[in-house]
Amino acid sequence: MSHRFSNIETAPPDAILGLTEAFNADSNPDKLNLSVGVYKDESGKTPILQSVKAAEKKILETEATKGYLPIDGSPDYAADVRNLVFGDTVPQDRVAVVQTPGGTGGLRVAADFMRTQLPQVKIWMPNPTWANHPAIFTAAGVPSDTYRYLADDRTSLDLDGMLQTLRESASPGDVVLLHGCCHNPTGIDPTPEDWKQIAAVVQEKQLLPLIDFAYQGFGDGIEADATGLRTVLAHTDEALVCTSFSKNFGLYSERVGAISLVAASAADATAARSQLKRAVRTNYSNPPRHGGSIVATILSDEALTAQWKEELEAMRVRITRLREQFVETMKTTGKGHDFEFLLRQKGMFSYSGLTPMQVDELKAKYGIYIVGSGRINVAGMSETKMQYFCESVASVL
Ligand code: LMR
């Protein structure tokens, strides 16, 4: 009998995580990994927050079981997600929160839910979007299309193009994927005024917003970053929101996220929750406990909450400083290329305008890893390596 696995084609490396594999194998002592969206401190480490450590200490002392969580996760955790994301903008009984392994887990549950419960709809994604977005929805069998997002100058939002595609090409009832803040990969966010226009189109075309909200706290702050989401929710009574605590609690490997479904009534939310649970059960059965316990422990303790907010703010401020330092350093090393536009971008990422060839050259010559689209993880920069980074960028321009 011939071997069944002999003719399997090797898949290409993941566009984002594959680069870290290559980075780890690189022997260049000056190497710099600005690919995956992970926060790093000045020493290049991804630190565990002090508030997280303190919560883990508490959990170690008090945790009484490793038994399964319910399919939809911990109710305490769900209440925390509801408060952080929605504040008091939506009545609690209209929101079904399901704890998921990371924001990616939430997106996959959303995709499976769409395929079974909304089989006629298409999902519209911004062009560009996070590389895993189309992959997740395609894997789940949900048809997708793109709307204009990036303007031709590649440094700003094409709001008119975005609204026009949604108005002219989307069908009523289609899903529109919106990045709640800190757009990945561009760092280009709509202004509060832009969000009002986006919300108006959502209402006019009866689109179902699916808001990916993975970077709350990294743009302008925890509450300010929810402005767009809350503006959209004021114009529709149904939505899906996928959240992640990978970045804002630094809990990357704990896989802690959620999908929240906002329904028009409590009865609708209950029925929809039962279908979300079905999607979970056939994917991974029920979520991991530890990461959600950390979040719930922090948010149920005033002192730990205050400490977490300070730590998150410190990460946000440091990223902004790195962004400014990069722009400043490029003024002297950048051969006249203007990078001021980076100062208008928000969150971990920036679209640098570097071409795939320049990105390849940076990797091969300088051991600098950034995503092929030219996306730079600003949160991975370091003050001490800024000169090296800027000179390397300048040499490939
Ligand atoms: C990223 O875009 O780098 C992050 O969201 C991490 C990931 O899983 O790709």
pLDDT score, position 301: 97
Give per-residue pLDDT as tens, 23-76: 999 999 989 999 999 999 988 899 999 999 999 999 999 999 999 999 999 999
Task: Give the pocket of ligand 1 (CB within 6 Å).
Answer: 16, 36-37, 130, 132, 184
* Tens of pLDDT, residues 221-238: 999 999 999 999 999 999
Q: Can you point out the beta strands (E) in the chain? A: 32-33, 95-100, 123-127, 144-148, 175-179, 208-213, 239-244, 257-262, 349-351, 368-369, 375-377
Query: 8 lies in a domain?
Result: no
Q: How many domains does the chain have?
A: 2
- Please, are residues 190 and 142 in contact by the beta-carbon 8 Å criterion? no
Least confident of 12-26, 108-122, 243-257, 279-293: 12-26
Q: What is the pLDDT of residues 171-185, one digit of tens each?
A: 999 999 999 999 999
* Residue 331 pLDDT > 80: yes
Last residue within a domain, chosen from 247, 276, 300: 300
Instruction: Name the residue range of residue 172's domain.
Output: 68-300
Do the domain assignments include residue 257?
yes
Instruction: Mention every residue, 6+ apart, whose C-beta is less than 8 A from residue 155.
Output: 188, 341, 344, 351, 353
- Are 143 and 125 spatial neighbours (Cβ–Cβ below 8 Å)? no
Band (pLDDT 50/70/90 cuts) for residue 335 is: confident
> Strands 349-351 and 123-127, how do they pair?
unpaired
Q: Which of 338, 389, 395 is nearest to 34 (CA)?
A: 389
Both 206 and 330 in a single domain? no
User: Quick check: is 152 catalytic?
Assistant: no
Task: Please state, in angstroms and rounded to a whole number, the distance separating the CA atoms of residues 186 and 375.
Answer: 7
Looking at residue 261, its pLDDT comes to 98
- Same domain for 161 and 240, yes or no, is yes
What is the C-alpha to C-alpha distance for residues 213 and 305, in angstroms, rounded to an integer? 20
Position 13 scores a pLDDT of 87
Instruction: Report the separation in Å between the CA atom of 93 and the middle of ligand 1, taken as the mean of its atom positions.
Output: 32
Which pLDDT belongs to residue 365?
A: 94
Question: How remote is the CA of residue 37 from the centroid of ligand 1, in Å?
Answer: 5
Q: Do 160 and 193 contact (CB within 8 A), yes or no? A: no
> What is the pLDDT averaged over residues 117-136?
96
Half-sphere exposure of 146 toward its Cβ, with a 13 Å CA cutoff?
11
185 and 328 belong to one structural domain = no
Which CATH number characterizes residue 340's domain? 3.90.1150.10
Specify whether 277 is catalytic: no
Pocket test for ligand 1, best of 17, 40, 132 (most atoms within 8 A of CB): 132
pLDDT confidence of residue 44: 87
pLDDT at 96: 98
Confidence of residue 337 (pLDDT cuts 50, 70, 90): confident
Residues 24 and 140 in one domain: no
Contacts of 3 (CB under 8 A, 6+ apart): none
Q: Last residue of some domain: 300, 329, 354?
A: 300
156 and 253, same domain (yes or no): yes
> 287 with 368, same domain?
no
Average pLDDT over residues 280-290: 97
Q: Tell me the mean pLDDT in the region 252-264.
A: 98
pLDDT at 1 over 80: no
The predicted model gives 360-376 an average pLDDT of: 94
How does residue 267 score in pLDDT terms, banded at 50, 70 and 90?
very high
Q: Tell me whether residue 337 is in a domain.
A: yes
Q: Are residues 243 and 330 in the same domain?
A: no
* pLDDT at position 108 over 80: yes
Task: Answer whether 26's CB lies under 8 Å from 362's CB.
Answer: no
Question: CA–CA separation, 215 vs 247, rounded Å?
Answer: 6
The pLDDT of residue 336 is 82
Tokens 């590389």 locate to: 131
